[in-house]
Amino acid sequence: MRYRPIVSGLFALVASSVLGCATPAPVVRLDPVSHNVFWISGRAAVKQEERGVRVAAAFEREMGTTLGVRVEIQNQTDRKLDIDPAEAFSFISCKGAAESSCAKETFVIDPEEMLAGLDQKASRERAQAANDDGALGGLVLLSAMADTASLASPHGGGAPLRTEGAVGAQQGTAASHDRGLGAIEAQRDMWSDEALRHSTVLPGASVGGQVFIPADKGVQYVWLKIRVGDRTFPFHFRMVAEDVSSNG
């Protein structure tokens, strides 16, 4: 039985406060465990073939709390192939070499679900930006009225002006929402353009893209299973975490 991971947690930003200086997090990568490794532009890749379907996999990069594996599939059969990573690609994480140390088999992160979540997050961000702009815009008007009345009063000439502060708050909030929307759009571009998405591969054609799994701590080995029709291509990786010195 395979269980889909809860991807909504990937949208949450976790903030932690610690005493002293922050230290760089280790850099994590996946090294293939195979005797048939070949190198492409510095990446260690492994390929398999079964009944006219060729599949290659290579670790691409660590991205936040996920690890991206580049997967390429070539259709050399006489039939079209349906490639759906969310429903046919899975992984098993193991804390050691023994099978008893392995977690349950789980689907890879669904790019379509991630895109839908990002669209919802962007919609909420735009709505909040509009609400904040309306609220702070009203404060600008009220502050301007108060400043005008203060300056007109014979006893209020020395009162501090409020309009400049209100305008600054409005501009700062707008800039914050712009940064938030920009970050969401950058994530959306990644999931839309770089991730391997549901595709139909015609005879003689190929498809490629990144498949993402969580970068869980304490894991030593990962099995990535690529299913194409009734064919299963298992790829074995060793997870390596390299410490990063605080000094450049």
SS3 6: coil
Higher pLDDT, 238 or 129: 238
Give the pLDDT score at 140: 46
Nearest to 211 by CA among 110, 105, 96: 110
User: How does the average pLDDT of the chain come out, rounded?
Assistant: 79
In the DSSP assignment, the letter for residue 29 is E
Asked whether the beta carbons of 95 and 219 are under 8 A apart, the reply is: yes
15-52 confidence digits (pLDDT tens) = 444 455 677 778 889 999 999 999 988 889 999 999 99
User: At 126, phi and psi to the nearest 5?
Assistant: -65, -40
pLDDT at 142 over 50: no
Place of tokens 């712009």: 178
The whole-number average pLDDT for the span 202-207 is 96
- Give the pLDDT band of residue 215 (cuts 50, 70, 90): confident
Between CA 240 and CA 246, with CA 245 as vertex, the angle to 5 degrees is 140
pLDDT at 159 over 50: no
C-alpha 107/C-alpha 122 separation (Å) is 26
User: At 209, phi and psi to the nearest 5?
Assistant: 170, 180
The pTM of the full predicted model, rounded to 2 decimals, is: 0.70
Nearest to 55 by CA among 30, 97, 85, 78: 85
- Give the pLDDT band of residue 160 (cuts 50, 70, 90): very low
The whole-number average pLDDT for the span 175-193 is 77
Higher pLDDT, 186 or 36: 36
Higher pLDDT, 187 or 198: 198
90-140 confidence digits (pLDDT tens) = 999 999 989 899 999 999 999 999 888 888 887 877 777 676 665 555 454
The residue count of the chain comes to 248
The continuous run of DSSP H or E covering 233 comes out as strand 231-242
The whole-number average pLDDT for the span 56-61 is 94
Sign of CA dihedral 105, 211, 64, 13: negative
Higher pLDDT, 180 or 37: 37
- Give the pLDDT band of residue 213 (cuts 50, 70, 90): very high
The whole-number average pLDDT for the span 6-13 is 47
- Give the pLDDT band of residue 164 (cuts 50, 70, 90): low
Higher pLDDT, 81 or 161: 81
Domain spanning 22-110+196-242, CATH class: mainly beta
Domain ranges of the chain: 22-110+196-242, 115-191
Query: Do strands 221-228 and 231-242 pair parallel, antiparallel, or not at all (unpaired)?
Result: antiparallel
Nearest to 74 by CA among 56, 62, 57, 59: 56
pLDDT at 169 over 90: no
Higher pLDDT, 160 or 237: 237
The whole-number average pLDDT for the span 205-215 is 93
User: At 207, phi and psi to the nearest 5?
Assistant: -145, 150
